Structure 1
Amino acid sequence: MMEKNTDFGAQFSHNVQNGITPEMMESLPPVIKNWLHAIGAVGHAPIRNIRLNQTGTIKLKPEQKEWTASESEQISHTDPPAFRWDVKMKLAPGIYVTGKDSFERGLGSMRIKLGGIMPISKTMENEKTNQSSLQRYLMELAWYPTAAVGPYISWEEEDAYTAIATLKYAGLQGSATFYFDEQYELLKVEAWRYKESDEDSRLVLCTGTIKEHQRLDGLKIPVELEISWLLEHGPFTWYRFRASDIRFNTI
């Protein structure tokens, strides 16, 4: 069960119950103000949570030639920051792997099981996993953009079409860079994350590239994406997916 609202976050939600206002965005970089206007976030009720399904393909290793079909469900909360991602990958007829990636109360965890029963790997309450999970949450801000003016995130202007978001929560801190086009549509998000959680793992640039947006409930959000790691030998795109059955504030 994910944590309920903190007092600070609850007060913020109360203040914006009638929607995000221009006054709330006064301290934001111009590019973020323009983005929030362009996607319909101004005047939109605050997003407390989002539930969505993903249909896509995954590569577990760069040398893997064939893509593995996957289906997943994700639930994300904005106050406090949290998410849970459950995925099922079909390896062969009758053979599948399940995975759960979550971030709750500042703790990240990742579990993978064969056939949904036999554990293959498990990483919990690891400092690098916590940090990487925080970064993932921040990179997915475009699904809950009203949180851009919330109590956990601050912004810094990089240039006219680029801004850096910094998220502080539960003793953790992470940043992600948001890139926009001239119409202030979000093109991609980048963050330095730990790809692995072992002692020797180092930060690797992770990129989420947006292929398509759609309007839902008056809000323009990403629905088709590619996720890549920048490895020593070059980019490794490991996940391609399309989001569907997207629902706000149903939990």
Structure 2
Amino acid sequence: MLKIVIIAGLLIVAAMAAAAVYGALGWADGTRQLRVRLENARMPITPEVVNFRELEGLPEPVQQYFRTVLKEGQPMVTGVRLRHQGTFNMGETTDQWRPFTSDQRVITRRPGFDWDGRVKMMPGLTVRVHDAYVAGEGILYAALHGLIPLVDLKGAGDVAEGELMRFFAEAAWYPTALLPSQGVRWEGLDARSARATLTDGAVTLTMLFSFNDSGVIETVRAEARGRTVGKNVIPTPWQGRFWNYTERGGMQVPLEGEVAWLLTEGAKPYWRGCITAIEHEFAK
């Protein structure tokens, strides 16, 4: 009897390992296809270098931000490759933090990205996630071992808006994308904050950028981003927070951050991570 149990256990372990390998191969192929679409949507970037003359007339904290993180005459960022590690809160009502690793591809014009995440639920159990904005389409797809779908959202409308919000908030990692020449309109509020508006295709959104004493972006907030609760999507205030600014690619970019839903009972963080590698591509 013991022998049968041992054999059965070994077969289960082997089956799980085979499923993980098969899922990883299929996921890698899907990732390649998604990123080909991202590259195909790429547009030429103009101008090709940073010119501080375009800062004239911008709100004072916005001007200070660009002068702090950029250099006059440096090339514009056209793309980024990043790697992260951190923890992801999988619980809707209670905290269930799980470790994750990810790699991300960003194209600044036309705005787009693909975040390829791997969340370790428990030993031997991994959820793979694509969170993406490609050619005006929002994508959120999660699958156990890359095989069994758990979440599958894609399309225009609210899904696209939510993903473009992420691209916009994360522009602190590729700050030339926030310049007026890249389609961003700035409206001053006070000495520490300004609203920024971005349009891509049919999607237009406005977010609140707040700056710290050093002049860099501290938080980015949206008043309503779609939050999935059960089978419902509820518009909810959302905020990204950044710190640990370090020079990368000749720019000051934050290497650590946290993302949270701002609920009536208080902030509910769900993503905490740090950049372990970042490589910028520049206009030539």
Give the structure-2-normalised TM-score: 0.80
The aligned counterpart of 2:185 is 154
Shift of 1:245: 1.2
Cα distance, 1:196 vs. partner? 2.7
2:275 corresponds to which residue?
243
Match for residue 37 of structure 1 among 67, 76, 93: 67
Other-structure match for 2:246: 214
- The aligned amino acid for 1:220 is Q
Q: Deviations over 1:38-59 (max 9, x none)?
A: 1124332100011100100011
Runs (4 or more) in structure 1 with deviation over 4 Å come to 197-200
Shift of 1:189: 0.9
Counterparts in 2 of 1:68 and 1:198: CA distance versus 1, 3 Å: closer
1:232 Cα deviation from its structure 2 partner = 3.1
Superposed counterparts of 1:95-114, under 5 Å: 95-114=125-144
Q: Give a deviation string over 1:105-136, Cα, whole Å, max 9, x none.
A: 11101111001211112011152111111111
Change (3 A) 1:219 1:170: same
Aligned residue type for 2:275: A
Partner of 2:220: 189
Query: Is the partner of 1:201 in helix, strand or coil?
Result: strand
- Residue pair 1:62, 1:236 contacting (<8 A) in 2 also: no
Provide structure 2 residue ranges, at least 5 long, that are not aligned to the other structure.
1-36
CA distance in 2, matches of 1:136, 1:60: 18
Distance 1:199 1:63, change over 3 A: closer
Number of residue-to-residue matches in the alignment: 244
Q: Distance in 1 between matches of 2:282 and 2:123?
A: 35
Q: Please report how far the alpha carbon of residue 36 of structure 1 lies from its aligned counterpart in structure 2 after TM superposition.
A: 0.7
Determine if contact 1:36/1:42 at 8 Å carries over to the other structure.
no
Secondary structure in 2 aligned to 1:116?
A: coil
- In 2, the alpha carbon distance for the partners of 1:206 and 1:65 equals 17
Q: Distance in 2 between matches of 1:71 and 1:134?
A: 22
Query: Structure 1: which 5+ runs fail to align?
Result: none
Amino acid corresponding to residue 244 of structure 1 in structure 2 = T
SS class of match (1:63) = coil
> By percentage of residues, which structure has more helix?
2
- In structure 2, C-alpha distance between the alignment counterparts of 1:220 and 1:40, rounded to whole Å: 7
Residue in 2 that maps onto 1:115: 145
Deviations 1:18-71 (A, max 9, x none): x21121222322211110111124332100011100100011224334420000
Q: What TM-score does the superposition give when structure 1 sets the normalisation length? A: 0.90
Aligned partners of 2:88, 2:148: CA distance in 1, in Å?
Answer: 20
